[in-house]
Every structure is written in C-alpha cells, then in structure tokens.
Structure 1
Amino acid sequence: MTTLFVRHMVSDYKNWRKAYDAFSSVQRANGVTAEAVYQATDNPNDVTVTHEFATLEAAQAFIKLEELSKAMQSGGVVGTPTVWFTQKV
C-alpha cells in the first residue's frame, strides 16, 4: 500500500473543503482507497491530506491528473503543495 501526502496552504478552509468533498468521485475512480484531511493546530488554512493507493504507480498517476490540478486551483490552494509518497511496512 502506498500513501500520498499533500501539504498545502489554502485561502479559506471552508471553501477548500467544499471543493475537496466534491472531488471524491474522481478520487475513487482513480484508485484512492482511503483518505484523510488534517489541519495544523495553529492555522486552519494549513492543510495536509493523505490518500491511500494499492500501488505507487497509481499514486503517482493520481497526482499528475489535470482534473486534480484544476480542483486544487478552484479550491483556493495557495502556492506549490509539498508532495511525498510512503510505503507501509
């Protein structure tokens, strides 16, 4: 199992969350088997999300989706997200 972590700043968490929730069908259609959202304790607009995939290749393909890029932009993501992949051992 591979977990994709994405940390980014958003302009407004409530607006971002609406866009994120609306994207759930695209997540499922592209191999996301589980997901979670975290906020920094000192800044609700500092958001980290995790998405689990069966393979690293599926996670890497997901992060490259044009649909994802557009959703992040419309959701108010500020700047360039920090992205990393992990394997459960």
Structure 2
Amino acid sequence: MTTLHIEHAVTDFETWHSAFERFAPARTEAGVLEYTIRRPSDDPAYVLIDLEFSDEAHAAGFLEFLRTRVWTTRDNSPALVGTAHTRLLETVHTG
C-alpha cells in the first residue's frame, strides 16, 4: 500500500473542497482506493490529504497528473496558496 500525502494552504476550504470533489472520477480512474482529508485544529486554512493506492506506480502517476494538469491551472485548483508539499509513503505497519 502506498499513500500519496499532500499538504497545502488554502484561502477557502469550501472552495478547495468543491474543486477536490470535481476530480473524484480522476481519482477513481487513477486507482485511489480511499482518501482522508484533515485540517489542523488551529489552522482551518491548511489541508492534509492522504490518497491510498495499491502501489507506488499508481501513486506516482497520480502525483504527476496533479503537478501537470491540476495545480498548474487556477480553474482546476482554486483556493490553493503556494506550492503543495508531497510525499509518497509506504505502509510498513498498522495497529
């Protein structure tokens, strides 16, 4: 299992979330098995997203899609501030 972990600031959570939901078909097509959205309790203008994939190749492919097709266009990524911080994480243990 590989997680694509994304963090970034947003100007308006509801605007960002609406855009996120528009890409549900793309997530499904890319192999996202499930996702989690979190916000720090002391910073509602920041989001942390974990997208779960069966393997690293699918996660890396979707990250490339985000970098080249989503985050480069303001219409596709309204409310984003600055550059997203991303990591591909391998699950080594759960409890």
1:38 equivalenced with 2:19 (yes/no) = no
Kept after mapping to 2: 8 A contact 1:17/1:75: no
Kept after mapping to 1: 8 A contact 2:3/2:52: yes
**Which has more radius of gyration?**
2
The C-alpha deviation readout for 1:9-57, integer Å capped at 9, x for no partner, is 0110010011111111110011111101001111111100000011111
Q: 1:67 aligns to what?
A: 69
Q: 1:82 aligns to what?
A: 85
Runs of 4+ in 1 over 6 A off after TM superposition: none
Kept after mapping to 2: 8 A contact 1:20/1:75: no
Q: Which runs of 5+ in 2 are unaligned?
A: none
Identity rate of aligned residues, in percent? Answer: 27
Query: Number of matched residues?
Result: 89
The SS at the match of 2:44 is strand
Q: Which has the higher strand share?
A: 1
When the two structures are superposed, what TM-score results if normalisation uses the length of structure 1?
0.90
User: Structure 2 CA distance, aligned partners of 1:6 and 1:26?
Assistant: 16
The SS at the match of 2:45 is strand
Mapping 1:5-24, distance limit 5 Å: 5-24=5-24
User: Structure 2 CA distance, aligned partners of 1:48 and 1:29?
Assistant: 22
